[in-house]
Amino acid sequence: MSESAASPAPRIAVLLLAGGRGTRAGFDTPKQLVMLAGKPVLRWSLDAFASHAAISAGVLVASAEVAAAAGALPDGWTTAEPGAERRDSVANALASLADWDDDAVVLVHDAARPGVTAAVIDRLLAALQTGARVAIPTLPVPDTLVEQMGEDAGATVDRGALARVQTPQAFHLGTLRAAHAAAGDPAATDDAQLVRRLGVAVTAVAGDARLHKLTYADDMAILSGLLGSMAMMQTAVGMGYDVHRLVADKPLWIGGLEIAHSHGLEGHSDADVALHALTDAILGALGEGDIGDHFPPSDPQWRGAASHRFLSFASERVAARGGRIGHIDLTIIAEAPRIGPHRTAIRERVAEILAISPVRVSVKATTTERLGFTGRREGIAAQAVATLQLPEN
């Protein structure tokens, strides 16, 4: 290698602190396990760091209960026990990196801030690459501040000299080790405080409002709004198609409605061809098989069952994944009866079953110009497309 060749990039690890109980939030479970937009609060940070190409390892500082409930750790990650104070937890995590060189980089992050973005990580790493020893994300203080106690209670504080400090915070590993070795205050609220006591300058980069900290129960509503707008949702599209034979002396169910006709549809359940196609479309977008996987026709409990139960199940699966139904497009293919007069009622019934607005439901009808089995009035077919928004894995 020539002398002008660039030196290799330092190794980068994350110390993810998830040891607190969050008693101020008032939850029955540790706050890092509370569900937020479809997944535990802790999982938001784990997934964000796991998806960043520059990060090769991490240490999750959490109790055995929390670590087990968090799910599979990213490749290269391990766990460490939390300590009585934050500084103790970081020290335990640093011990897990005992064989790492001092020129490595570590990001220390509080799991109570689930809105980690790649952009913030990139800004922190860029600051270290250009000479900083420590970099922290900050936000300006937008509110008017006043003294709360003492003789100057009510007096305005100059907010121009203040900033809100967030995590993750980035350090050269040797700097963080030295700061913890020299620290005498076990109750420091972040690691940058310990580094400043060594006389090391701390560089600030732009933070992100989505790094709001979960402290109180009301913060869940704030985070739900903030993270709902993050680019962590993906569009998933599924298609469903179903056919049933028309037979005499049976009620005809289409789109959750009983429609007067000389014939009905034959099937193990009520044979609602429209709702079956819709159910398959949603399950397809979820990647969770088809209607027969969940409601097998060989199972007698589904004989004659109302098909709205199947569609409700599919809708509940979307909610369980933290997703939403963006749009439904249903086409019913029948020579008779005429579907047109029932389209509005079917649209409203489908929206009711899915608990969405009718404006997100499209119902169309067509014929095959007397061609094929539908043209001969032997059966009715339906096809559907479901568009979902789901949290990225």
Q: Which residue has the higher pLDDT, 239 or 50?
A: 239
Q: Which of 39-48, 77-86, 177-186, 258-267 has the lowest mean pLDDT?
A: 177-186
Q: Dihedral (C-alpha) 281, 287, 291, 294: value to the nearest 10 degrees?
A: -150
pLDDT of residue 230: 53
**Given a cut of 80, is residue 14 above it in pLDDT?**
yes
- 3 state SS of 198: coil
| pLDDT tens, position by position, 127-174 | 999 899 999 999 988 888 887 776 766 678 788 788 899 999 999 999
Residue 217's pLDDT band, with cuts at 50, 70 and 90, is confident
- 3 state SS of 283: helix
Residue 24's pLDDT band, with cuts at 50, 70 and 90, is low
Task: Dig out the tokens for 56 from the structure.
Answer: 């090769």
pLDDT of residue 2: 39
pLDDT over 90, % of the chain: 55
Q: Judging by DSSP bridges, how do beta strands 105-110 and 156-157 pair with one another?
A: unpaired
Topology of the domain comprising 233-391:
60s Ribosomal Protein L30; Chain: A; (3.30.1330)
- Residue range 90-98: average pLDDT? 95
CATH 3.90.550.10 location in the chain: 12-228
Nearest to 235 by CA among 342, 84, 387, 344: 387
pLDDT over 70, % of the chain: 92
pLDDT of residue 266: 87
pLDDT of residue 152: 67
What whole-number distance in Å separates Cα of residue 227 and Cα of residue 36?
9
φ, ψ (nearest 5 deg) of residue 115 = -85, 50
CATH of domain 12-228: 3.90.550.10
Cα 294 to chain centroid distance, Å, stands at: 25
Whole-number CA gyration radius for the chain: 29
Buried b (16+ CB within 10 A) or exposed e, 309-333: ebbbebbeebeebbbebbebbbbbb
**Given a cut of 60, is residue 206 above it in pLDDT?**
yes
Residue 358's pLDDT band, with cuts at 50, 70 and 90, is confident
- Residue range 74-101: average pLDDT? 93
- Residue range 186-215: average pLDDT? 89
pLDDT of residue 231: 44
What whole-number distance in Å separates Cα of residue 137 and Cα of residue 165?
6
What whole-number distance in Å separates Cα of residue 235 and Cα of residue 362?
18
Amino acid 66 reads: V
Residue 288, class by beta-carbon neighbours within 10 Å (0-12 exposed, 13-18 middle, 19+ buried)? middle
- 3 state SS of 312: helix
Residue 393's pLDDT band, with cuts at 50, 70 and 90, is low
Query: Roughly what angle, to the nearest 10 degrees, separates helices 308-320 and 343-354?
Result: 40
pLDDT of residue 154: 67
pLDDT of residue 53: 84
**Given a cut of 60, is residue 237 above it in pLDDT?**
yes
CATH 3.30.1330.50 location in the chain: 233-391
Eight-state DSSP code of residue 26? T
Q: Which residue has the higher pLDDT, 340 or 323?
A: 340
**Given a cut of 50, is residue 4 above it in pLDDT?**
no
Decide if 72 contacts 42 (C-beta within 8 A). no
Distances (CA, A) of 189 to 109, 180, 192: 12, 13, 9
Decide if 192 contacts 80 (C-beta within 8 A). no
| pLDDT tens, position by position, 311-325 | 999 988 887 777 788
What whole-number distance in Å separates Cα of residue 158 and Cα of residue 88?
34
What whole-number distance in Å separates Cα of residue 134 and Cα of residue 132?
6
Residue 7's pLDDT band, with cuts at 50, 70 and 90, is low
pLDDT of residue 3: 40
Q: Mean pLDDT across the chain, nearest whole number?
A: 88
Q: Judging by DSSP bridges, how do beta strands 324-333 and 361-366 pair with one another?
A: parallel
Distances (CA, A) of 337 to 93, 243, 259, 341: 69, 15, 8, 10
Question: Would you say how long the chain is, in residues?
Answer: 393
Nearest to 58 by CA among 20, 5, 15, 121: 15
What whole-number distance in Å separates Cα of residue 311 and Cα of residue 316?
9
Residue 189's pLDDT band, with cuts at 50, 70 and 90, is confident
pLDDT of residue 21: 65
Nearest to 58 by CA among 373, 377, 70: 70
